[in-house]
Structure 1
Amino acid sequence: MSDENKTTEEQPAEVSPETEAAAAQSDAAEDSGDDPIEVLRAENAELRDRALRAMAEMENLRRRTEKEVKDARQYAVSGFARDVLTVSDNLHRALEALPEEDRRNADAGVAALIEGVEMIERDLLNQLEKNGVRKLNPEGQKFDPNFHQAMFEVPNTEVPNNTVVQVVQAGYVIGDRVLRPAMVGVSKGGPKEAAQPQSEAGQTVDKSA
């Protein structure tokens, strides 16, 4: 046999790092007296636990991201909606400033103008509602500082204390957030047994617009 063949035969086979690590762990387990199979099972369980934790963290991140994107879309129009509400308020004030008698006695041209302004106000509120902005009508409900702003008290012994008896300016919500609280007058001097507190979901939405 030639020297070249001897050199080739004497070269050891290459061993992968993973195999070396497994062998080292097995040797260590044998040296410590532990069952190598049980060691591998424990390592497998640990790796599985880590994988499950990583999957759970990724799922939580996905849900948070989806909520943030949804909120960004839903509440992106908040600033613009507040500005539009000012226009709606001015239209409403213009209609209220016209005495009822003048409405009844108005000629055809003025009547058409009044009707046009009313239609614009309704359409404006409808467009806001399409974008998630809802008008609240809290009259008759228990006063809720989360959605109402008390402007004055009205002595009234016939309704429960702290009941909204007058709405000075309508309130609006967008999604589950208050866009503008309703400015209201609340009763004073009535019985303490008031209506049930109104959560955001329980707030009455004005469908007259």
Structure 2
Amino acid sequence: MSDTDGKPEDPVMDEESLMDHEPEDIPDHLRDEALDGHQIKKLAEERIAEMQGEIDGLKDQLLRVAAELDNTRRRADREKADASKYGITSFARDLLSVADNFQRALDHTPEDPTTMDAEALNGFVGGIRMTEKELLTVFERNGVVRIHPAGEPFDPNVHQAIAQVPGGGAAKDIVVDVVAPGFLIGDRVIRPAMVTVSTGAEATASS
């Protein structure tokens, strides 16, 4: 077919068909278009390859970060388990000397304590008191504080009233007697002090 000027139309050629022809058979403007298209395709392929490399690099980084996070989690779990299992090692080591002193006291006690003379009994009691003092020192060194609130106002946060008694001269809600001392670690109550508390009223005489 020809155009309106009677000139033959250029054949429709894609890039592959252009490559099948001899260069001199291809019109100049089509040859330029083919070269431009080939260059664009080549640049696009190079950019795609570059982007694929970037994607592969990011995937590798992501895998490395995930592996590091997993290692960190495992390490934290292990440290937590070790702290739970061995956290009282220092405290237990300090208590060993207290246990040794108790054992020595028992070793020097006869099977029938009523056979002990006054000197032996005094020595035994003195040894027990020294061991108790050492025990309290170990407690304090490890942050354990004993609560012995005799004569102090009753505090429900750290005391547990097991009975109320007439005042006997004590004001209302004053700790009259400590049945068992309490203990704290920092601000946390391990065991409240077991106490009797004054009602503030005098005992009534029985009829």
TM-score (norm 1): 0.42
User: Is the radius of gyration larger for structure 1 or structure 2?
Assistant: 2
Could you say which structure has the greater relative contact order, defined with CA pairs below 8 angstroms and 6 or more residues apart?
Answer: 1
